[in-house]
Amino acid sequence: MIALAPYGPYWRQVRKFATIELLSNHRLELLKPVRESEVKASLQQLYQLWNKKKSSNCGKVMVEMKRWFRDVTLNVVLRIVVGKRIPNSYEGDETVKWKKSLDDLFELSGKFLISDALPYLRWLDIGGDEKSMKKVAKELDQVVEEWLREHKEKRAENEANSGEDFMGVMLSILRDAEEHDADTINKAGLTLAVEDTTSITMTWALSLLLNNRDALKKVKQELDIHVGKDRLLVTESDTKNLVYLQSVIKETLRLYPAAPLAVIHEAIEDCSVHGYDISTGTWLILNLQKIQRDPQIWEDPLKFQPERFMTTHKDIDVKGHDFELIPFSSGRRMCPGVSFALKILELTLANLLHWFEIETLSNEIVDMRDGPGVTSPKATPLEVQISPRLPTFVYQSRN
């Protein structure tokens, strides 16, 4: 996994593939139609669900949004990475197993192990977590291995179509790789691509909006101005004008960074930083959430206030340039998928809030407790009621 790999030739090569070949601005632009079509397909499924159940629920249908956000994000990632998507039934054995393994990976990665504090106890594997980690790693490796096999067979049959998704691109680039095994690098890049925390951020964003109805109203007003109720789809070009929604996303990332602790850094040699002597092997763990809720930097730090990014903090971004807001970390170890994540966040949230009226049952307050793991998922399901927001004829159009 690139995030945990030590600095060296392997890390540099995988990072290069990720930033230049897979997640460059040029490739992200080429993949814009895929993102837009997958978001549209997921919303159409949601509308069909409402249309099917509306009569028995007074025109409103209950939906669990944590799962929906996860599935739409996973569909975008799968289409881009390997040209696959989740079946409409969401019951494909391969997909379900893969999703479960990925959930287990995130949970295990964030667990505190006694052996982390007392390394000499590692051989005991207290709690069996190391055994579970090996099992999950094997399951994910088998899934990616099967995808690799399918792509290699397609390449042998039709060379011209080999570069249509990330896996095809990497197979083309790594055909003559010598320094590191091509399949190993390919799997590392693909694991990077699916290590997605975007759905977690979308869940928190919607939860915050539901608990702050004035902000939700402002998002809808902005959509009406820049998109209008006579058009169904919000495009990525439209999202550039949705300044308030962008501020909502920034404020969500500030309050609830998907990974509240940055990836562990380890000193590879003795050094001194601002008078502090640091020995080889020392771990440095950055508490992003603490920094982003620091009252010395942020006024009313626990208050959801998107307007701050349109006034006092309007020049701050989330791409590692401003250390008071680094939800994707910063420097060489910064998440290389930040631009990709922001595009999915903006596109999905904009379309969801444009298509549907969303509310909690009896206007209840959303439970904002977070769960365990290396990421910070919402601890409880996000169950909401949805109903169409646009005129019926708009949903029947092709735009």
In tens digits, the chain (399 residues) has pLDDT values of 556 566 677 667 667 767 776 777 888 888 899 999 999 999 999 999 999 988 776 789 999 999 899 889 888 888 887 787 765 544 445 556 667 777 777 677 666 677 766 777 777 887 788 888 888 888 878 877 887 788 777 777 765 454 467 777 777 766 655 545 555 655 555 554 455 689 999 999 999 999 999 999 999 999 999 999 999 999 999 999 999 999 999 999 999 998 898 888 888 899 998 999 999 989 888 899 999 999 999 999 999 999 999 999 999 999 988 999 999 988 877 787 888 899 999 999 999 999 999 999 989 999 999 987 678 889 999 999 999 999 999 998 766
387, two tokens: 């109903």
Per-residue confidence (pLDDT) for residue 345, from 0 to 100: 96
The answer to whether the CB of 87 falls within 8 A of the CB of 95 is: yes
Please report which helix (H) or strand (E) contains residue 272, including its range: strand 271-273
Based on the structure, what is the number of domains in the chain? 1
Q: What are the CA-CA distances from residue 92 to residues 50, 85, 185, 200, 219 (Å)?
A: 23, 10, 27, 23, 36
Please check whether residue 48 lies inside any domain of the structure: yes
| CATH number for the domain harbouring residue 104 | 1.10.630.10
Sign of CA dihedral 229, 234, 239, 244: positive
Q: Is residue 279 part of a domain?
A: yes
Taking the CA atoms of 255, 29, 80 and 226 in sequence, report the sign of the dihedral they define.
positive
Any domain includes 3: no
- Closest to 152 measured CA to CA, from 167, 164, 165, 142: 167
- The tokens for 136 are 């999950």
Report the C-alpha gap between 271 and 347 in whole angstroms: 44
51 within a domain of the structure (yes/no):
yes
Q: Is residue 4 part of a domain?
A: no
In whole angstroms, what is the distance from residue 189 CA to residue 131 CA? 24
Query: Does 335 appear as a known binding residue?
Result: yes
Q: Is residue 374 part of a domain?
A: yes
* CA–CA distances in Å: residue 316 to residues 310, 319, 325: 10, 9, 8
End-to-end CA distance of the chain: 40
In a domain, 1, yes or no: no
Provide the domain limits for residue 218.
9-395
- Bridge partners, residue 359, by sequence: 385
* SS3 state at 62: strand
Confirm whether 282 is domain-assigned.
Answer: yes
pLDDT the model gives residue 213:
97
387's enclosing H/E stretch is: strand 383-388
Kindly report the pTM of this predicted structure: 0.86
